Structure 1
Amino acid sequence: MTWEMYKRLYDTCEEVDADDSIRVLVLKGAGGKAFVAGTDISQFTEFKSGEDGLRYERDGDRRTGRIARVKKPVIAQIQGYAVGGG
């Protein structure tokens, strides 16, 4: 996932909670090969210091953790691989 995708995930969770007409959040991957393949590590070249890496971890945890706080049912529509490597 790119930085923008993490931001959009967080923002979507906020929008879902704020909109009473939305009854469920369905998350699915694109492309059919994997549900999610993790962070796009090519972005790590943007890090200028160790603090940048720590900030990435904090922001990523905050943004993905937002899914657990959605007040409506959340469904993961899995198509393809769904593995974790880190």
Structure 2
Amino acid sequence: MSAGTCKHAASGCDYPAGECGGACVRKPTQPTDAERYTRAMIDGNLTTLVMIERKHDLFGYPPDIVSIGLRAVARGQDAHEAIDRHLADDQS
């Protein structure tokens, strides 16, 4: 297997060379913790909710605040800074 990208990378294929097999589709992406958190809320999966909250040091915050932090993480930002900005805007 080659370490380079697929020869069809220009068409959007992101498989490593030798793994594409000509299908040239993007690999399925893993859901973000924000997406997993939303799904766990819908499903009532408390174990997953708590696991995600603890992973990001957000345990104890209300779900709407946790969601703000998780969306920030998905964008590559700090969860606590995003929450602080949100709460500061609410106080203005």
Q: Provide the TM-score with structure 2 as the length reference.
A: 0.23
Structure holding more helix per residue: 2
Higher relative contact order (CA 8 A, sep 6+): 1
- Structure with greater Cα Rg: 2
